[in-house]
Structure 1
Amino acid sequence: MPFDPPPSPLSATQRRDARAVAFWLFGVAGLVWIMVAIGGATRLTGSGLSIMEWAPLSGTLPPMSEAEWQRLYDLYRTIPQYALVNQGFGIDGFKQIFWLEWIHRFWGRLIGLAYAAGLAWFWLRGRIPAGSKPRLLGLLALGGLQGAIGWYMVASGFEADRTAVSPYRLVIHLGLALLIFSALVWTALGLMRPQGTAPAEARPVRRMLKVAAWTLVGAMLAGGFVAGIRAGLTFNTFPLMDGQLVPDGYWLLSPAWTNLTANVAAVQFNHRLLATLTALFAIGAVWAALRRLPEGRARRAVLGFGAAVALQYALGIATLVYVVPVALGTLHQAVAVLVLTTALVALHALRPAPKPPARPA
Structure 2
Amino acid sequence: MRQDRAVGTWLLLLAGMVFGMVVGGGHARTIGAGFTIQVWRPFTGFIPPLNAADWNQLYGLYQYTAQYQAQPIDMAQYKALFWPMFLDRCWGRLMACVFLLPFGYFLLKGRIQRKLALWLGFIFLLGAGQATYGWYMVQTGMYPGVVSPPPEWAAPHLLSAMLILLLLIWTGMSLRAPEPVRLDGAGSLRGLASASVLLIWITMGFGALVATSGALHVYNSFPTMDGAWTPPGAFAQDPLWSNFVTNKGTVQFCHRLLATVTALTVLTTAVMGLRRRLPPALRDIFLLLALLVALQYVLGMATLVLGNNELGFVHELNAVLLFATAIAARHGLRGAVAAPVGALAAAE
- Tell me if both proteins adopt one fold, taking TM over 0.5 as the criterion: yes
CA 126–234 in structure 1, closer or farther in 2 if over 3 Å, else same: same
CA distance in 2, matches of 1:287, 1:179: 26
Equivalent residue in structure 2 for 1:119, among 79, 95, 103: 103
Whether the aligned pair in 1 keeps the contact of 2:186 and 2:336 (CA below 8 Å) is no
CA distance in 2, matches of 1:140, 1:283: 33
Give SS of 2:45's match: helix
> What do residues 170-225 of structure 1 show as CA deviations (whole Å, max 9, x unaligned)?
12211111111111111001011112114231111111222222111110011111
What is the aligned-residue identity percentage? 36
Q: CA deviation at 1:295?
A: 5.9
Whether the aligned pair in 1 keeps the contact of 2:203 and 2:259 (CA below 8 Å) is yes
Whether the aligned pair in 2 keeps the contact of 1:155 and 1:165 (CA below 8 Å) is no
Equivalent residue in structure 2 for 1:136, among 113, 120, 126: 120
Q: Does 1:346 align with 2:329?
A: yes
1:169-180 correspondence to structure 2 within 5 Å: 169-180=153-164
1:92-171 correspondence to structure 2 within 5 Å: 92-128=76-112, 131-171=115-155
CA 354–318 in structure 1, closer or farther in 2 if over 3 Å, else same: closer
Flag as ranges the 4+ runs of structure 1 deviating above 6 A.
none
CA 39–100 in structure 1, closer or farther in 2 if over 3 Å, else same: same
CA distance in 2, matches of 1:130, 1:30: 25
1:218-257 correspondence to structure 2 within 5 Å: 218-257=202-241
Letter in 1 for 2:51: S
Give SS of 1:303's match: helix
> What do residues 243-269 of structure 1 show as CA deviations (whole Å, max 9, x unaligned)?
122122211212221111110000011
Letter in 2 for 1:208: L
If the length of structure 1 is used for normalisation, what is the TM-score? 0.89
CA 262–310 in structure 1, closer or farther in 2 if over 3 Å, else same: same
Letter in 1 for 2:244: L
1:182-331 correspondence to structure 2 within 5 Å: 182-294=166-278, 296-326=280-310, 328-331=311-314
Q: CA deviation at 1:100?
A: 1.1
Q: Which runs of no fewer than 5 residues in structure 1 stay unpaired?
A: 7-14, 356-361
Letter in 2 for 1:128: I
Q: Which runs of no fewer than 5 residues in structure 2 stay unpaired?
A: 339-348
Who is 1:45 aligned against? Answer: 31
Q: CA deviation at 1:288?
A: 2.3
CA distance in 2, matches of 1:57, 1:129: 29
The alignment yields a C-alpha RMSD, in angstroms, of 1.8
1:54-65 correspondence to structure 2 within 5 Å: 54-65=40-51
Q: CA deviation at 1:354?
A: 9.0
Whether the aligned pair in 1 keeps the contact of 2:231 and 2:249 (CA below 8 Å) is yes
If the length of structure 2 is used for normalisation, what is the TM-score? 0.92
Who is 2:60 aligned against? Answer: 74
CA distance in 1, matches of 2:125, 2:20: 20
1:329-340 correspondence to structure 2 within 5 Å: 329-340=312-323
CA distance in 2, matches of 1:147, 1:285: 34
Whether the aligned pair in 1 keeps the contact of 2:152 and 2:209 (CA below 8 Å) is yes
Who is 2:341 aligned against? Answer: none
